[in-house]
Amino acid sequence: MKGNSYLAESIDNLIRINSERMASFDKASQVTKDEQLKNYFEARADESEKNIQQLEALVPQSGSSLKTYGEYFLTACRMFDNAITGKKMNIIIDSARCVEKHMLEWYIKVVDGLSNTPAEFALLLQGQVERLKNGQLQLKHLTAHN
């Protein structure tokens, strides 16, 4: 039973952090003048929206949640949000890197904590982790000249 509870809490948390990420990247896309970065930020927001839809479709919400889930991730999102308000592109980019790093760490933490996970859910998480890794590489490539 504990495994089911952890699974439900993990899914709830992944939905929440994807929601935070989606809002942050949507805001970033609105303030950047660089078309490539705008496209990148929009793609990350869309990616989080897709992640949420996949997670919600796969496992129904249990209504449970952890009291503290990834506070370090929320701090990164708040820093990202503050950086966007400042509109200094180098700070926005650095903050985006931080959010993506913590997002990936949180996914890996969830994956490592799950055992006897249904194969469909494990494949879904693997796909989302791979997209996060690819997004980090894309941001690194886009900002190599900055």
Taking only the tens place, the pLDDT of each residue in 114-129 is 777 777 888 888 899 9
Is residue 131 packed enough to be buried (19+ CB in 10 Å), middle (13-18) or exposed (0-12)? middle
Higher per-residue confidence, 144 vs 64: 144
Domain limits, the chain: 2-57+68-142
SS3 of 103, please? helix
pLDDT band at 70; cut points 50, 70, 90: low
> What's the CATH number of domain 2-57+68-142, 3.40.50.12280, 1.10.1060.10, 1.20.1260.10, 3.40.50.1000?
1.20.1260.10
Rounded-to-integer distance, Cα 69 and Cα 40, Å:
27
pLDDT at position 92, please? Answer: 78
Query: What average pLDDT score do residues 82-101 get?
Result: 75
Q: Phi-psi category of 87—alpha, beta or left, where left has phi over 0 and alpha has psi -120 to 50?
A: left
pLDDT at position 42, please? Answer: 95
| pTM: predicted TM-score of the whole model, two decimal places | 0.76
pLDDT at position 64, please? Answer: 40
Higher per-residue confidence, 65 vs 25: 25
Query: What average pLDDT score do residues 89-95 get?
Result: 78
